[in-house]
Structure formats: C-alpha cells, structure tokens
Amino acid sequence: GENVEQHPSTLSVQEGDSAVIKCTYSDSASNYFPWYKQELGKRPQLIIDIRSNVGEKKDQRIAVTLNKTAKHFSLHITETQPEDSAVYFCAASIPTDKLIFGTGTRLQVFP
Amino acid sequence: DSGVTQTPKHLITATGQRVTLRCSPRSGDLSVYWYQQSLDQGLQFLIQYYNGEERAKGNILERFSAQQFPDLHSELNLSSLELGDSALYFCASSPLGGPQETQYFGPGTRLLVL
C-alpha cells in the first residue's frame, strides 16, 4: 500500500523567512496530494491540495510543488508569520484507496 | 467551523471501561472517517463508513468498533480501555467518500484513560 514520509519533523524559522516541508510517497499511482494544517488543540484543516496533472499550485503565501518522477511533493510558505505556527500534515492517495497521511511537521515561527 | 460535530469534547474514564464517541457529518456528506491522534503523533486512520456501510479499515483494534446510522451520524465504541488509548479522536466527513475528496474534520474528542 501507499506510504508517505514527511520531513522535517520540526522546523523553526524567523518571521519573514520561508519554510519548506517535504514529503515522499511510494505508490506511483498516487495522484492527489493535500496538505492539512493543525493548530494546537484544533482540528486539521485543508490549506492546499494538488493533483498529478499539475506541477505547482499557489495560494497567496502558500505553494505546493509536485515531482512525479521523484515521487515527492513539497509545501512552501513564504513570508512566514507567527500565526503560521502549527503542525502540517501532507497526504497522498491513489484513486482506489484511502488517503494516507504523513507523520507531521511542527513549524514554529519566531517573531 | 467545518460543519462536523463531535460529542463529547472531553471524556475521562478508567481502564477497563467502555465509551462511545459520536460524530455528525456535514450536511450532505455521506462518508465518515475516524482517526486517532496520540500525543505528538500523526493521524492514525481507524475506519471509514459510506452511507451506512464500512468502506475501509485501518489500524483499528479489535476492542474498537464503529457504525454509521441511517441518519448518517456515526459512533465509535471503545471497550476494555487501556492507558494507551488516551488520545484525541477525530471524525471527518466527505461528500462521497472518495480518496481524493477534501476531508472536513470535527473538533475532536479528547479521551483520557486513568
């Protein structure tokens, strides 16, 4: 079945800097890659997703890139702000099976 | 607010006991998912239901069971509770249960087993 690895497990950045979180997946049939943000004590919420027919998607300060050949995808947050501090989960799915989540990255943005 | 509701918010119980967690999906969503999140851990998929039927099973213990009722709400039953079952339990819902649909998470039920 699908396996998703996520790195790093923790990431600390200065406010205004960029943050990058990387995930790799094992099943080459995977074609849907969402990212969820979970603030402390809150529910996970979808922040952006990408499908395999595109290589990059951007939404304001957040972007996701996909490299199907290497089977990895990344979340990029530019101009980070303290409110970006949270745990971020990547996920991947093939069309016929359940969504598999990565282990999460705890992002801390210091003022 | 995602539109997914979960009750109770907090639950404290003792080892060996049995509890029931309840979830109501977003209006119109037919599929419900259950996840377990232990302290500083990721989201462990437990089980998925679609329109009353079990659709997918993850790492769900035999002591745990779930069902989805005709009104589409779902219940997760945890029995013979152990200390290690202490965790945050999330329910999520999606329209048709497809693996490429956005899952909308509820606020979670925090279970503490003493």
Find the residue in A nearest to B89 (Cα). Answer: A43
> What does the pLDDT look like over B67-85, one tens digit per residue?
999 999 999 999 999 999 9
Cis peptide before A8 (omega within 30 of 0): yes
Angle, alpha carbons A36-A37-A39 (nearest 5°): 150
Structure tokens at B15: 């080892």
* pLDDT of B40 over the 90 cut: no
Q: Any idea which residue has 């971020």 for tokens?
A: A88
pLDDT averaged over every residue in chain B: 94
In this predicted structure, what is the pLDDT of residue A20?
A: 98
Closest CA to B67 of B8, B20, B12, B3: B20
Tell me whether residues A96 and B106 touch, CB distance under 8 A: no
Out of A94, A95, A104, the one facing B42 most closely (by C-beta) is: A104
- Asked whether the beta carbons of A102 and B42 are under 8 A apart, the reply is yes
B3 touches chain A (CB under 8 A): no
Contacting residues of B for A51, CB less than 8 Å apart: 100
In this predicted structure, what is the pLDDT of residue B92?
A: 96
> What does the pLDDT look like over A25-81, one tens digit per residue?
999 989 899 999 999 989 999 999 998 888 999 999 999 999 999 999 999 999 999
Q: Which long-range contacts (CB under 8 A, 24 or more apart) does A71-74 make?
A: A71/A24, A71/A25, A71/A26, A71/A28, A71/A30, A72/A22, A72/A23, A72/A24, A72/A25, A73/A22, A73/A23, A73/A25, A73/A33, A74/A20, A74/A21, A74/A22, A74/A23
Out of B48, B105, B108, the one facing A45 most closely (by C-beta) is: B105
In this predicted structure, what is the pLDDT of residue B101?
A: 87
